[in-house]
Structure 1
């Protein structure tokens, strides 16, 4: 992500634990369980299945 600020996009964490996990803040957005339900792979890709060519 060299030269790209994550703040310019929609990056957020969900259910992270362990070393490095921290509380939500303006520099560390965290999805609620309700928000996370709309972030499944199918929500973004629909029925598209990538293939290797």
Structure 2
């Protein structure tokens, strides 16, 4: 991550599953269902629309 701590940003997991999935802790913040329901793509991408090249 180029030396930038995830703790200073807004990273969180939501319904993470699989062999490396962890439980909620101060090092692995988890979104609740209600928090995730309030997230919209535009909140993260703004007006940017990725395209395949």
TM-score range, shorter chain: 0.7 to 0.9
Contiguous gaps of at least 5 residues in structure 1 = none
Q: TM-score, normalised by structure 1?
A: 0.78
Q: Deviations 1:5-30 (Å, cap 9, x if unpaired)?
A: 00001100001111110110000000
- What's the RMSD between the two structures over aligned residues? 1.7
Superposition TM-score, scaled by structure 2 size: 0.78
Q: Report the alpha carbon displacement of residue 49 of structure 1 after superposing the two structures with TM.
A: 5.0
Distance (Å, rounded) in 1 between the aligned partners of 2:14 and 2:49: 25
Number of equivalenced pairs: 49
The structure 1 segments of at least 4 consecutive aligned residues displaced by more than 4 Å after TM superposition are none
Structure 2 counterparts to residues 1-53 of structure 1, below 5 A: 1-42=1-42, 44=43, 45=46, 48-50=47-49
Structure 2: gaps of 5 or more residues: none
